[in-house]
Amino acid sequence: MSDTVFIGMDLGTSRTSITTSTGVRTTVWSYVGYAQDHVSRKHLGGRDKVFGQEAVENRMAVNLVRPLDKGVIRADEDSRMAVKDLLEHIIDEAGIPSDSTIYGVIGAPAEASVDSKAHILSAASEFMDSIIVCSEPFAVAYGLDFLSDTLVVDIGAGTVDLCRVHGTMPKPEDQRTHHYAGDAIDERLAELLTENHPEAQFSDNMVREIKENYACVGTQMDPVNAIFPVQGKPTEFDITSEVSEACSEIVSPTVEALQDLIATYDPEFQQKMRNHVLLGGGGSQITGLSRAFEEALSEYGGGKVRTVEEPQYAGSNGALKIAFDMPDDFWKEFIESQGAKA
């Protein structure tokens, strides 16, 4: 009889992370690169495909696919194939024995549609025996045992997902999603750089690296200087104001969604929830963000905002905890339902 391995996964637009019951945690950028021709294949050491950072670094020699957009699988066939390859790769990286029975929980955007969840289930069902797709911010809260009067804000590349947690599984009215997230910051920063420094040459990857290294909101930030080529000559630019402006635009839509979830909650518990806001996801590492949220909440009666300690794995850790706590009957019921469809 095969051993059962439980996994928790954060299938993200930018990064995919996995935590397993065997004690493994690993993450990979959500990119797949396919060899363009025999020369490309030779360059890749005989491989037909590469993943993550390696795929991005070899993007001039491969057909690079980023299969997720705003937290969900793109509709085209290349993306469907790439997300399956990505799932197979990260499960292989986790070292799960091939004969294991795999029960998995996958985090998805808070307001992911039925179709989006179905696409995730379809892709994952080739590598897992039984699957749950849950709200990503709820998984963060569950993993930290913050299950009462908590507002979770999970800031990813494609979406900012908010979830109101109050001692039960979240319902649709407990969740909000908006799309001014990491990718939107990159796009806005690129726009500002083009407007203010039209002579500078830069790539999307260069902009993303600047954001990841220097993202900050607020007036107190260190100068940001970047080297861009101008007609082939490396030239230094002060882009402090552009980085600050692009990052700061995340505050308003997030606070509006937070206040909406608070205002529609039981009035007796609104203040308690306002004082228990939890930031997760890669975007939670933007310098000064929690303080900016607290300042913006002051006009609504104030609030307390804290950041999770392990944003890279908070979602997958929580998803694994959900997997551990699910009754055996649920996993068996899923397997039986899939068998009936076959």
**Confidence class for position 5, pLDDT limits 50, 70, 90:** very high
Q: Report residue 28 as tokens.
A: 């990979």
State the average pLDDT over residues 44-63.
96
Q: Yes or no: is domain 4-140+313-341 CATH 3.40.640.10?
A: no
Contacts (Cβ under 8 Å, ≥6 apart) of 282: 14, 15, 155, 156, 157, 182, 311, 312
Q: What is the pLDDT of residues 78-136, one digit of tens each?
A: 999 999 999 999 999 999 988 899 999 999 887 777 778 888 888 899 899 999 998 89
Distance CA 252, CA 312 (A): 24
Fold matches, 4-140+313-341 and 182-248: yes
Convert 280-309 to b/e letters by CB count within 10 Å (16 or more is b): bbbbbebbbbbebbbbbbeeeeebebebbe
Q: What is the domain partition of the chain in residue ranges?
A: 4-140+313-341, 182-248
Stretch (H or E) spanning 62: strand 62-65
pTM (two decimals): 0.90
pLDDT-based confidence at residue 342 (cuts at 50, 70, 90):
very low
30 within 8 A of 14, measured Cβ to Cβ: yes
CB 90 within 8 A of CB 26: yes
The SS3 call for residue 177 is strand
Q: Which CATH superfamily is domain 182-248 in?
A: ATPase, nucleotide binding domain (3.30.420.40)
Question: Crossing angle, helix 289-297 and helix 251-263, to 10 degrees?
Answer: 50
